[in-house]
Structure 1
Amino acid sequence: MGELEIRTAVAEDVPAIVALLADDPLGARRETPDDLAPYRAALTRIDADPNQHLVVAERAGRVVGTLQLSVIPGLSRRGATRSVIEGVRVHADERGAGLGTRLIEWAVDASRREGCVLVQLTSDRTRDDAHRFYERLGFEPSHLGFKLQLRPPL
């Protein structure tokens, strides 16, 4: 199957990342792979922020997974730093083969290196398989999340 490398995403990865984000019923409604300009602008902002880590998993020159890790310093929990994992996606050809576990392990290890005391993530309430996956990795459902849409997506 080939060696897997988890590395920092670069501009050339944007089309593959967006394709991964759009490759499910929820993502298909939110993402616009035909217009990559907002994604490229977002990558520029991510690259400029040392607390943001957008990575891809690459196998045989092909992007097969991605996630974003945000490191957030805070005052609560005695001034603790925490991290948030977002945008976890694995290519359909790679699902069930351990790539998702490898990505989450990378994020947890990176969080430890950053001095985080807590790793958190959210998952859409309809993603039952994802919930079971995260629980198998030791994550516990602990909060009820809320969102406030400030404006329509670009």
Structure 2
Amino acid sequence: MTDPKLSIRSARQNDLAALIALYGDDDIGVTREAMEPDDAYQTAFDTIQSDPNHVLVVGELDAKIVATLLLSFLPGLSRHGAWRAQIEAMRVSSDLRGQGIGQAMLDWSIAEARKRGCALVQLTSDRRRADAHRFYEQAGFAPTHFGYKLSLETP
């Protein structure tokens, strides 16, 4: 499939379990996710939904959630006060990868960033996700920066 009939819409409360399942749908995610909705997921969902600078969306095929991403809009002073769009937690169901769904989600995100007047779209990807890196580079993203993270979670 190269032209998925993907419907992209804002996430709803009753999508939470499907979102968590997508986050855990690979070797990396399965080690980080609780796999069932709990208070922490609910609080995060509510916080995202209440902030107009965050848009949590799902992609549906045949009324089934098969993809998701969080698109955040970040103001800044650099680049002459430019806004950035940050794509986070983009996931496509593992059995549907390589069929154009991820590209449709990226295209939607880029269009939304343009509508909001953003100067650039950025994202991060775990170093272990080589297939994702190839995908993002084929989509026109360039690995121009190093990313650093400091975990504040206790083991």
Q: Pick the TM interval, shorter chain.
A: over 0.9
Within a 5 Å distance, the mapping from 1:34-113 to structure 2 comes to 34-113=36-115
Distance in 1 between the 2:78 and 2:28 partners? 33
Distance in 1 between the 2:105 and 2:70 partners? 10
Aligned to 2:134: 132
Aligned to 1:31: 33
Q: TM-score, normalised by structure 1?
A: 0.94
Contact 1:57 1:65 in 2 (8 A): yes
**Percent identity of the aligned residues?**
49
* Structure 1: runs of 5+ lacking an equivalent: none
Structure 2 residue identity aligned to 1:105: D
Contact 1:72 1:83 in 2 (8 A): yes
Aligned-pair CA distance for 1:79: 0.4
Contact 1:73 1:79 in 2 (8 A): yes
Aligned-pair CA distance for 1:96: 1.2
Q: How many residues matched?
A: 153
Structure 2 residue identity aligned to 1:65: A
Contact 2:16 2:37 in 1 (8 A): no
CA deviations on 1:10-61 (whole Å, 9 max, x unpaired) are: 1111100100000111111110013432112111000110000100001112
Aligned to 2:9: 7
Aligned-pair CA distance for 1:64: 0.4
Contact 2:74 2:84 in 1 (8 A): yes
Contact 1:14 1:36 in 2 (8 A): no
- Three-state SS of the structure 1 residue aligned to 2:28 is helix
> In angstroms, what is the RMSD of aligned CA positions?
1.5
Aligned-pair CA distance for 1:118: 0.7
Q: TM-score, normalised by structure 2?
A: 0.94
